[in-house]
Structure 1
């Protein structure tokens, strides 16, 4: 439960000093376009008719209004630059809780504040929050805290699309509200949760409950449901997607669906779609602009770029943690290392990169790049194939290299340690002698002269000292060859069987039978 307090004297003094220091900037239009509207509080509570103050910090002009002025007044409704608004409750004799919104508008942005009278003739009785919004996606549950020292009852005006976990309580408590509509149910809805004191039936407080036609921050939607095996969990989230992208059939939903179809466009994922759960987790950003100097952007995760690549050390919030915690697999017995996350960055830039973890979720990420007209295929899809399917899920190494570069003994030792501990990097070897290969299935495919399986020097960023199995495939040049090579398909299929709970059923013969359809004639 959120506890709010009045602004103290010293905080007001600091704000006023800050206003004085900035007063020369108020007429600068360039500054106005870049500045943010800041309001000193997000909510105020009144216990009597004593006034309280809100401070506004903005470089340009602003106006203010109440959506309900029946119980309180503002001393001003407009201003320019820094200023303050005094809010005064009107004298009253009733015990009903009152609420209103103070809306401060400045150029193209606004800040909203709930003003809630919580003291009812000396009795504290309120719900927090006073508005609950369900959005598009799977069924969700929200909690409402009840603050009251006595007994209370809870009723819904309309129980057809949401339900309560309890109808009464005594003292401080919590009510959980669960939606009953599916992701395909369209149309907005609203109802009212009424809390009534059992000691005084005239003492009530309410919570407005809404269903809106947009994806809400932190919501989850099931994009693909496993019907076989244990269910392998893939999570999709995004950075730089703003509120206007969140409507039904809007841009964020299109990206989720496009990502889903990209995942199952490549073998062996295409043939084993029924073994996967795919969940879309919504993250709403305040902006879709990104920094290119490596400093965190003002997007939700803070994605930024250095030399065209995502700065993986610059996240302000971990995308893997956020997606995992807002998915159905959180707080289950599914290990973190069995979770794979796709971060779609809302920028027309390739910028693909992946982070692999041995103990937690792995992530593949990249921009929604259109290929600049240079390719006749979906370059966002091939980014997903390389970074998300190949690296993050398959644990495959890059197979491209820099000319004249040789791998060091230290790099070989580190790679082998990760391979032994976590099963990473099985698509490269550090010898051209099959008898010494760590990947015995690669050796077996060589011995049977399997199509497109060989020993070719160059990979893992080095031209010398590293060998790959195929001249070209997604892991070497994703925009030239749009498939995984046989050795890579086998590695991925082996992992699918493991995560689906069928590890004991897997053998190379299983792969050979499956892969007949992929062999080029």
Structure 2
């Protein structure tokens, strides 16, 4: 009886019986070469089934479901990488699930091509003590990411090595003057493949003039892994000014010191890198300026020097402080600094739309500080900043160079602060101007030091008032060049007359952005630095005395007739189209 029943069980479950069945009759583990383009799953069945688990390189080439026996075609995309790819497919039915594993091998690794040294050129004899090494990029047949190792030696026996992902390396150390050096570059693909360039030799000169595009390391960050770059460009500096230790070097050093010679930048200096990028102009000065020695003051309307960044002063008014420059070229030179060349080059069109790296708030170009030092004596200064965060501060080398830089770059550029002075002749804001103010306030972190209300229970610096430790912070009418309808937090500040003092809410705005960028939150629009933490590190100068409220610079005797307040920032909305 047992034997009969066993025979009946086998019959009822066989392919000819009434019971449902689904079987995979092809291999349940299929292994293909890297260049395979198709495969098949053979299914024997008498009931509903379907195949799932496909991915981007293993896709169906025929029906993936049925009720009877069938062959399911697999369309395979050749594997260009080195790693084995695996797809876990499933043949599903009421009977159960049958797993099918599809494996595709990787391609054999092909080493990258050897890089080709370009500068310093072989047997060059006029190489600077801090050269920029450049080479032609290697190519990789597998599409692997290539990294480079630069090797430098004096004897071809002992080599110093420097790693980079770029096709250039700014040599931060100083080579010995008059010495002969050898260099080569090795390209690596990360999978054991590598290729090395020929060895190239050069001799360091004894008399050094900085070259076009040279990146000078002024200060290197020692604290934060997300250092904020301050990038100094020079306009109106001729070759004679570009010697090591010369006019441009001293101007860049003065700009560095001025930027940090005020709180809270002074206390957070170690969160910044400072670089200077060299560019030679054909003539000194700025367009419509007074000349590098002030001699062109009476002829400023016809003074048109040929300069690298085309810095231009306002022509119509000898006392105007407005300026402009070639923004696109400034961004291009700033991106020569190591780590800055991320994303596409910054461009604009005649309609004023901006493209490239500047459209991404998290891009380094939107989270650095660009200073254009102009070799001209005319008193002026303007900062242009973009809604995405980028800024360019233009500062001539007048006798008010340092305070101008603090106001334009430290105030407007980095912290997006508004001007706090007022003109009796400026009318109150229109509805359209209020809407623009509120847009920049909300979307671009601007105007943290100005308010359109004097209600202390809702004003944006309410935390200072509630704290009790800042009795100087209230609401004083006058700001954004207007005597009415705009309030500032304290009676005096750098944003009024360029003095070496930022008021409390301005210091918070500066520290907030320093902490945001140095903590890796550049693209985080929701980041907030707590006021309680700010108060712990705030360095308020107790010796700064608040004078009477400035109703307008025109009636306040503290401003020299030749030193009116600096012009309003140029605000470029590149986030809306």
How high is the TM-score relative to the length of structure 2?
0.55
1:172-198 deviation line (CA, Å, top 9, x unaligned): xxx978676714x5524456899xxxx
1:489 aligns with 2:507: yes
Give the match for residue 473 of structure 2. Answer: 453
For residue 518 of structure 1, report the CA deviation from its aligned partner. 2.8
Q: Give distance in 2, aligned partners of 1:344 and 1:434.
A: 40
Counterpart of 2:173 in structure 1 is 182
CA distance in structure 2 between the aligned counterparts of 1:355 and 1:510, rounded to whole angstroms: 30
RMSD (Å) for aligned C-alpha atoms: 3.8
CA distance in 2, matches of 1:427, 1:316: 27
Alignment-derived partner of residue 341 in structure 1: 370
* Most deviating of 240-249 and 221-230: 221-230
1:321 alignment partner in structure 2: 332
Q: Deviation at 1:359?
A: 2.2
Equivalent residue number for residue 69 of structure 1: none
**Equivalent of 2:132, from 127, 131, 140?**
140
Number of aligned residues: 358
Which of residues 482, 499, 502 in structure 2 aligns to 1:462?
A: 482
- For 1:506, the equivalent position in structure 2 comes to 529
Alpha-carbon distance in structure 2 between the residues aligned to 1:419 and 1:218: 36
Q: Is the 8 A contact 1:236 1:342 kept in 2?
A: yes
Is 2:264 aligned against 1:244? Answer: no
**2:570 equivalent in structure 1:** none
Alpha-carbon spacing, 1:143–1:337, altered in 2? closer, same or farther (3 Å): same
Counterpart mapping for 1:175-214 below 5 A: 182-183=173-174, 185=175, 187-190=177-180, 210-211=204-205, 213-214=208-209
* Counterparts in 2 of 1:498 and 1:216: CA distance versus 1, 3 Å: same
Could you tell me how far apart the structure 1 residues matched to 2:389 and 2:302 are?
25
Contact 1:285 1:300 in 2 (8 A): yes
Larger-Rg structure: 2
CA distance in 1 between counterparts of 2:371 and 2:167 reads 31
Shift of 1:432: 0.9
Q: TM-score, normalised by structure 1?
A: 0.60
Q: Distance in 2 between matches of 1:311 and 1:517?
A: 31
User: CA-to-partner distance for each residue in 1:27-50, whole Å, 9 max, x for gaps?
Assistant: xxxxxxxxxxxxxxxxxxxxxxxx
Unaligned ranges ≥5, structure 1 = 1-125, 147-154, 166-174, 195-203, 371-378
Q: Alpha-carbon deviation of 1:159? A: 5.0
Offset from partner CA, 1:465-500 (integer Å, 9 cap, x none): 11111111110111xx32111111111111111011
**Contact 1:431 1:466 survives alignment (8 Å):** yes
Displacement of 1:516: 5.3
Q: Does 1:426 align with 2:448?
A: yes
* Higher share of residues assigned helix: 1
Say whether 1:384 aligns with 2:405: yes
SS in 1 for 2:410: helix
Contact kept, 8 Å, 2:127 with 2:202, in 1: the verdict is no
Do 1:302 and 1:317's aligned partners in 2 also have CA atoms closer than 8 Å?
no
Confirm whether residue 400 of structure 1 aligns to residue 396 of structure 2.
no
1:300 and 1:317 in contact (8 A); partners too: no
| Deviation per residue, 1:190-215 (Å, 9 max, x gap) | 56899xxxxxxxxx999866456232
Note the C-alpha offset of 1:291: 2.6
Say if 1:347 and 1:368, in contact at 8 Å, map to a contact too.
Answer: yes
Q: Which residue in the other structure is 2:538 paired with? A: 515
Mark the CA change 1:496 to 1:180 in structure 2 (over 3 Å): closer, same or farther.
Answer: closer
Maintained 8 Å contact 1:310/1:353 = yes
- Distance in 2 (alpha carbons) for counterparts of 1:411 and 1:177: 46
Report deviation, 1:268. 0.4
Task: Please say if residues 180 and 201 of structure 2, whose CA atoms lie closer than 8 Å, have aligned partners that are also in contact.
Answer: no
Partner of residue 413, structure 1: 435
Residue 217 (structure 1) aligns with? 212
* CA distance in 2 between partners of 1:463 and 1:260 (Å): 34
Q: Which residue in 2 is equivalent to 1:102?
A: none
Q: Does 1:303 align with 2:311?
A: yes
- 1:461 Cα offset (Å): 1.2
2-structure distance, mates of 1:286, 1:464: 47
1:127, 1:207 within 8 Å by CA — same for their partners in 2? no
Q: Which secondary structure state, in structure 2, belongs to the residue aligned with residue 506 of structure 1?
A: coil
The aligned residue for residue 101 of structure 1 is none
